[in-house]
Amino acid sequence: MTRPLLPVTTLDLDKNGHLLHTDGRTTIADTDIAQHLEDHLRLREDTTDIFVFVHGWRTKPATALTSARNLFTHVETLAATQPESYRRIPDFRPHYIAVRWPSRDNRLLPTDYEPVKQRTQSMSDQGHVPRVLGAILGYLNTHRETPEPGPETMPTAYGQYLHCTGHSFGSRVLLHGILEASKRLADGGPDTLAFDWDDDAYPWTLDSLTLFQPALPADAFTTTPYKRILDANLLNAPVAMTYSPADTALGNLHEKKEDQVAIGHLGATAPQDHLAQITLQDVTTPYAFPRGKRLINVDASKLYTANKPFVGAHSDFFHPESAHLLLSLANRAR
């Protein structure tokens, strides 16, 4: 018997970062974004966790949806088979969203690296991606029950938790969206017994951020705009970033294009006072996330080992261990 496909809601962007109607062709006016999200996302009241996935380089729309399903199916399986590993998440009821953007160019590998990188930059800096992602995150906030603390003797909370994950260049797109959403928020804020960076200037929090093989320069968090993610903003969690030296797309190729390897190849290198280092754990091993560090390098070199032409292990993160990282961060956010 064929297993039914995991429900994943898709949101599509054009090359200028405009949100598209479900026909995949017609752009939605800025004034209509909120209503489109209202009609299309339909967030359920009994949802416990919301996961937003932004795919990476050279990914077709159909592949982007398949990728989101692959990753989130691992999440579903682990949550169902070993709930004792995530005790702070009772009655796990997730809502999955895949944001799709045009990450391919007509040129062949590796010559389309620069055009796609420039598109990512222009979509974020001059286009509508930050506005659209800011609207998505803002919509989710207005339609979720903001987490509230439980009894002081038990480090847990109830409400709907929001988790974002990006891959490759999708990490850049996602970070811009988070920074834009932060600029729009002010006054009040939930008091959660979670990570250390909730701020009263923001009325809600993004409860985890995981970047798989991020296509960001190793020192990206020392330069504008990404260094602003270290300031007070809606992100009440560390930035967890996997890396593997087998990711050749972010090694030699990235170094040729940007004069240094990417975070997804050897990890972030700066700023040192914000950095911590952990290893991607097997699904039976609990995580002990470091306290007080905003940037966490996650060494995935023992698992992300694929050797595909040009890209190596760049997309080799669809494993139960990756889902274990996501669920462990979600569990820790309570």
pLDDT digits (tens, 9 = 90+) for 141-192: 665 555 554 333 223 344 578 899 999 989 988 888 788 767 765 434 443 4
* Widest distance between CA atoms in the chain: 58
CA torsion 193→199→203→205, rounded to 10°? -60
Residue 90 confidence class, pLDDT cut points 50, 70, 90:
confident
Instruction: State the pairing for strand pair 148-149/157-158.
Output: antiparallel
Structure-block tokens of residue 197: 């960076």
Mean of pLDDT values over 95-117: 76
3-state secondary structure of 183: helix
Say if residue 53's pLDDT is above 50: yes
pLDDT digits (tens, 9 = 90+) for 253-310: 788 878 899 999 999 999 999 999 999 999 999 999 999 999 999 999 999 999 998 8
Q: What DSSP character marks residue 287?
A: P
Q: Higher model confidence: residue 104 or residue 81?
A: 81
Ramachandran assignment for 53, one of left (phi > 0), alpha (psi -120 to 50 degrees), beta (any other): beta
In degrees, rounded to 5, the angle at the alpha carbon of residue 17 between the alpha carbons of residues 33 and 108 is 150
SS3 content of the chain, % helix, strand, coil (to 5): 35, 15, 50
Say if residue 315's pLDDT is above 50: yes
Residues in the chain: 334
Say if residue 82's pLDDT is above 50: yes
CA torsion 60→64→67→73, rounded to 10°? -150
pTM here is 0.87
* Partners of 279 in beta bridges: 299
Dihedrals phi, psi of 297, to nearest 5 degrees: -75, 130
- Within 8 A by CB and 6+ apart from 108, the residues are none
How is the chain split into domains, by residue range?
9-332
Gap between the Cα atoms of 55 and 69, Å rounded: 12
Say if residue 15's pLDDT is above 90: no
- Within 8 A by CB and 6+ apart from 82, the residues are 283, 284
Mean of pLDDT values over 131-138: 63
Q: What is the pLDDT of residue 152?
A: 35
Say if residue 14's pLDDT is above 50: yes
Q: What is the pLDDT of residue 287?
A: 97
Name the strand (E) or helix (H) holding 322. Answer: helix 320-332
Dihedrals phi, psi of 264, to nearest 5 degrees: -65, -5
Mean of pLDDT values over 76-92: 94
Q: What is the pLDDT of residue 30?
A: 75
- Within 8 A by CB and 6+ apart from 161, the residues are 48, 49, 50, 147, 207, 208, 330, 333, 334
- Within 8 A by CB and 6+ apart from 47, the residues are 93, 94, 95, 144, 160
CA torsion 324→244→52→112, rounded to 10°? -160
* Residue corresponding to tokens 């009040």: 188
